[in-house]
Amino acid sequence: MRVARWVSVLAFAGLIATLGCFDRDLTDIRPVTTTGVTIQVEQVGVIRVDIVVLVDNSGSMSQEQAALVQRFPELITELLDPPPDPETGRPSHPPVEDLNIGVVSSDMGTAGHRVSTCSISDVGDNGCFRNTPSPAVLDCEATYPAYLARNDTNAGVYLPPDMAHDFACIATLGTQGCGFEQQFKAMRAAVTTDPDTGLCNMGFLRPDALLALIWVTDEEDCSVRSDHNEMFDPTRDDLGHLNIRCFVHPEFVESVEDYVAAFRALKPMEDQDKIVLGMIVGVPPDAPACIGNGDDLDGCLGVPAMTAQIDPTDPTSLVPSCNTSMGQAFPPRRFVAMAQAFGSSAIVDSICKTDWTSAIRGITDKLVERLPSTCFPRALTFDENACTADCKVVETLNNDRPCQADSGCTNCPPATIDDVHNLAPCTVSASDSTTCEPLKRDLGLVEGSEGQFYRQCLVRQATRTNSGTGCGAATSLVQGWYYLPTGAILADDPATPELDPNPPCPQVYFGDGSLSFVEDGSTAELRCLSELCPEDLQCGPENVVGQSPTIPCCAHVDFNDDRIDDPAHCNSAPGRASPGTCVPGECRWHFVGSAWVCLDPDGNPL
């Protein structure tokens, strides 16, 4: 069963251009009535995710591979079959309907030099996806395709547990890989179309997919520059022991910045939020400064255990950054630098943890966070008693075909998009004068920029009843689009709804939980009568996104704008946990010292 398509805001250019007032303060304490407020929305089609998992297959990785295949099924299940929200019964996030997973090793060979731990001395596995089933995993298939794929062609028979088991079969790579781990180089080879890779992974990446690059390794990256292959030469004693050459000769290693640029180039500038990096590497498990998002790791490289240094008791090895029952790992300074470069798009955890639940959960949450959102950044005017928003949804089809017919409501007077707020009613039929509202009403054709014509349809808003615990979702008996304002559903603790808002932000749905009423390939827009309160004027709880009609919309003075009359401001400082009130006065809240202070135009406290 397909769940409802989810809607995300595409652009607010039309809204701002029509109102022309979000760049100045409002003088009323309520949103004022206007016309032509238009929010363009995008009907999110099939949600695609591409995941590349690099598994270190050197001699020290047996336990770590077992930990990976034990927990990674949790990520797969969450993406494909999200758990229901306990209050609404709807999926807690949009399900991924098209998922690709490829596995690569860290083995990129040794440029032809014979090294005892590197059996394929030229280019190793060269970033090509590994698809040989492991003899250590039971019930694997005899052969696998280059990468695992679940989509609408096989979803009915290829269930999430099947995909999770197949992942275990191909991700248990064993420990016979090259001891010269070149993790960044292998990942770059896997996700580019460099002819040197033989195009072995062609067809994997999709331009519209969320892309996750995940590394699982207990060693630092040693991606050697192509002009310094002497790094691998075992006869070059002058370069030091093979085991520590990457540390002794960092000038032979490609820069982190080059790889940052290579991975960012996988998506256009406007889609950089569609790249997620996950790293389960050798950061100390007891160092909070080294675990978390990339933009939270500022202190990690200063943690003593993260200092790369030769072990004084063994000059052929480095001092490990962590040493637990999972084994040893070494300071992954280049990984931390990569994560820092990607900021909130990257997450790091420790490979030395005995339980990887939090590590896999962190990567999963990061992916879910980047899936198309159901949240609108601004609330709609909503009648909580009637359970209706003061807006109309207009769907523009991708050609001139008729709007979907509604057999229960067939007789509608001609209408255009300009009439949506003042429409003559429809009737059941020419012979039955009972008024009705079809699921979709024809609004005629609109001409595109190249002379094509597209059909426009008014989509019905579902009729709902407030049961005393909120308006809730629409049902199949009252099909249509519907809106849930922040906190529309009764909170777990009715005494503090602002601390537990459900939903946590304004949301619009174009379905009843089993299908979408906006067709694939269509675009849609919300046409609203009421002006929306700008976020900086909302005098509501700071931890609630959006606004209920009961939260005041204050006009505060702009000291550089003499057009504002009767300015007003919120009577409580930012950080408030409940709605405040709008009070007159030329005041703006400023953070002074350690507290919020209301200052007049001359900077004096009020």
What does the pLDDT look like over 53-66, one tens digit per residue? 999 999 899 999 99
Answer yes or no: are the C-beta atoms of 491 and 472 closer than 8 Å: no
Angle between helices 357-370 and 62-80 (to 10 degrees): 40
CA distances from 262 to 277, 361, 454 (A): 13, 27, 40
Our measurement of the distance from residue 370's CA atom to the centroid of its chain's CA atoms, rounded to an integer in Å, reads 0
The DSSP secondary structure of 92-144, one letter per residue, reads SSPPPSEEEEEEEESB---TT--BTTBSSTTTTTTTPPP-PPPTTSTT--S--
Res 116: pLDDT: 85
CA distances from 71 to 68, 276, 302 (A): 6, 19, 30
Q: Which of 9, 160, 171, 194 is nearest to 73 (CA)?
A: 160
Would you tell me how many other CB atoms lie within 10 Å of the CB of residue 489? 18
What does the pLDDT look like over 332-360, one tens digit per residue? 999 999 999 999 999 999 999 999 999 99
Average pLDDT over residues 199-204: 87
Our measurement of the distance from residue 586's CA atom to the centroid of its chain's CA atoms, rounded to an integer in Å, reads 40
206: its two tokens: 């999709």
Average pLDDT, the chain: 82
555: its two tokens: 């006009």
Res 75: pLDDT: 97
Question: Measured in Å, how far apart are the chain's first and last C-alpha atoms?
Answer: 59
| 493/70: higher pLDDT | 70
| 573/35: higher pLDDT | 573
Res 287: pLDDT: 97
Lowest mean pLDDT among 90-99, 245-254, 434-443, 562-571: 562-571
Our measurement of the distance from residue 318's CA atom to the centroid of its chain's CA atoms, rounded to an integer in Å, reads 37
Answer yes or no: are the C-beta atoms of 398 and 410 closer than 8 Å: no
Between CA 606 and CA 596 the distance in angstroms is: 12
Domains and CATH numbers, the chain: 7-44+375-529 (no CATH), 48-307+335-370 (3.40.50.410)
Between CA 557 and CA 555 the distance in angstroms is: 7
**By CB neighbour count within 10 A (0-12 exposed, 13-18 middle, 19+ buried), where does 257 fall?**
exposed
Would you place residue 594 in the very low, low, confident or very high pLDDT band (cuts 50, 70, 90)? low
Would you place residue 590 in the very low, low, confident or very high pLDDT band (cuts 50, 70, 90)? low
Would you tell me how many other CB atoms lie within 10 Å of the CB of residue 185? 24
Between CA 371 and CA 377 the distance in angstroms is: 16
H helical segments located in 265-400: 333-342, 357-370
| 276/483: higher pLDDT | 276
Our measurement of the distance from residue 175's CA atom to the centroid of its chain's CA atoms, rounded to an integer in Å, reads 34
Would you place residue 11 in the very low, low, confident or very high pLDDT band (cuts 50, 70, 90)? very low
What does the pLDDT look like over 153-176, one tens digit per residue? 999 999 999 999 999 999 999 999
Between CA 52 and CA 186 the distance in angstroms is: 11
| 467/155: higher pLDDT | 155
Res 96: pLDDT: 92
Res 463: pLDDT: 84
59: its two tokens: 């001699």
Would you place residue 28 in the very low, low, confident or very high pLDDT band (cuts 50, 70, 90)? very low
Q: Which of 519, 409, 407, 513 is nearest to 457 (CA)?
A: 519
Q: Which of 459, 464, 437 is nearest to 382 (CA)?
A: 464
Q: Which helix (H) or strand (E) holds 13?
A: helix 13-19
CA distances from 585 to 32, 316, 540, 588 (A): 20, 72, 19, 9
Would you place residue 48 in the very low, low, confident or very high pLDDT band (cuts 50, 70, 90)? very high
Answer yes or no: are the C-beta atoms of 249 and 230 closer than 8 Å: no
Between CA 354 and CA 71 the distance in angstroms is: 12
Average pLDDT over residues 138-146: 95
Lowest mean pLDDT among 186-190, 211-215, 367-371, 427-431: 367-371
Q: What SS3 state is found at 441?
A: strand
Q: Per-residue b/e over 309-346, b at no fewer than 16 CB within 10 Å?
A: ebeeeeeeebbbbbebebbbbbbbbbbbbbbbbbeebb
Res 563: pLDDT: 36
Maximum average pLDDT range among 19-28, 449-458, 597-606: 449-458
